[in-house]
Amino acid sequence: MATKAFAPAKINLTLHVTGQRPDGYHLLDSLVVFADVGDTLEFSPGPALSISVTGEHAEGVPTDSRNLVWKAAEVTGWTGHIDLNKNLPHGGGIGGGSSDAAATLRMAVGQDELVPLDTALSLGADVPVCTQTRSTRMRGIGEQLMSVELPQLPALLVNPGVEVATGAVFSSLGSRENPPMPEVIPEFQTVEDCATWLQSQRNDLEPPTTRLAPEVERVLGDLAETKHSLLTRMSGSGSTCFALYPTMKDAHFAAYEIGAAHPGWWCRATQLN
């Protein structure tokens, strides 16, 4: 019998680069939330592993062992056919591949079981947090996870259709030794409270990304000009950016504005949690 799973988009509300280990891995302090938009997967057990990819962003997604979904199935010993419906732009800083891999791990170990941290981390730094699918503070190289209570955040996600290489972004960083977030994240009563606090935080990868991909800077500027926008920021290493709004009505209105002005951009109103 086939099993279905949802792989939500991962959004970095903050991303502070706080150091670098001798082995080259960067140390991060990031507040991560998940959207109600994402990829979907269907798993059909069978004697051999295979993947098919459909959907808006299927083009260019590998269907062999290069795919993180394949690697996740392989590391757990699961076999069968996986149909991946790719709705999220790849190379967009919203953890599409990592979230797909995490959904595969959750399916393989069982929804009521915890995914072993070492198994998730072996597939990539974002995979452990993507197994949580709820607001989480992520530190270290992605292995230190702490649940955080946040209000539901109406948002608009926008990707201009450019891929940004994560390695190039990190190589262009001006500093790798930056302050972390405060040790205690406040409790927020409203979206406005949360957005005000987030304004004092950072995504340290945003400046190098906008230098490498000027389209990202344009997205940020256009989002900042939408009505009732509370905060605009880039997620991960780009190129997807987001804005927060007081209500979902505001987010949908902004999506209409941006979509009309830039019909070629990927644009989704969503709720972050």
Q: Where are the domains of the chain?
A: 3-147, 153-272
Q: State pLDDT tens for residues 240-262.
A: 999 999 999 999 999 999 999 99
Q: 225 and 158 in contact (C-beta within 8 Å)?
A: no
Q: Average pLDDT over the chain, rounded to whole?
A: 96
Averaged pLDDT, 151-163:
96
Q: Could you say which of 100, 126, 204, 250 is catalytic?
A: 126
According to the model, what pLDDT value does residue 113 have? 85
State how far the Cα of 158 lies from the Cα of 239, in Å rounded to an integer: 9
Does residue 112 surpass a pLDDT of 80?
A: no
155 closest CA partner among 263, 48, 34: 34
Alpha helix (H) ranges present in 122-246?
127-130, 166-171, 191-198, 206-212, 214-224
- Phi/psi at 27 (5° precision): -95, 135
Q: 114 and 211 in contact (C-beta within 8 Å)?
A: no
162 closest CA partner among 110, 238, 88, 232: 238
Q: Do domains 3-147 and 153-272 have the same CATH topology?
A: no
pLDDT bracket for residue 13 (50, 70, 90): very high
pLDDT bracket for residue 1 (50, 70, 90): confident
According to the model, what pLDDT value does residue 136 have? 98
Q: Is residue 29 flagged as an active site residue? A: no
According to the model, what pLDDT value does residue 268 have? 98
pLDDT bracket for residue 200 (50, 70, 90): very high
pLDDT bracket for residue 206 (50, 70, 90): very high
CATH of region 153-272: 3.30.70.890
> How much is the pTM?
0.96
- 3-147: which CATH topology? Ribosomal Protein S5; domain 2 (3.30.230)
Q: Is residue 204 flagged as an active site residue? A: no
233 closest CA partner among 209, 257, 269: 209
Q: 100 and 84 in contact (C-beta within 8 Å)?
A: yes
166-175, 189-198, 214-223, range with the lowest pLDDT: 166-175
Q: 266 and 159 in contact (C-beta within 8 Å)?
A: yes
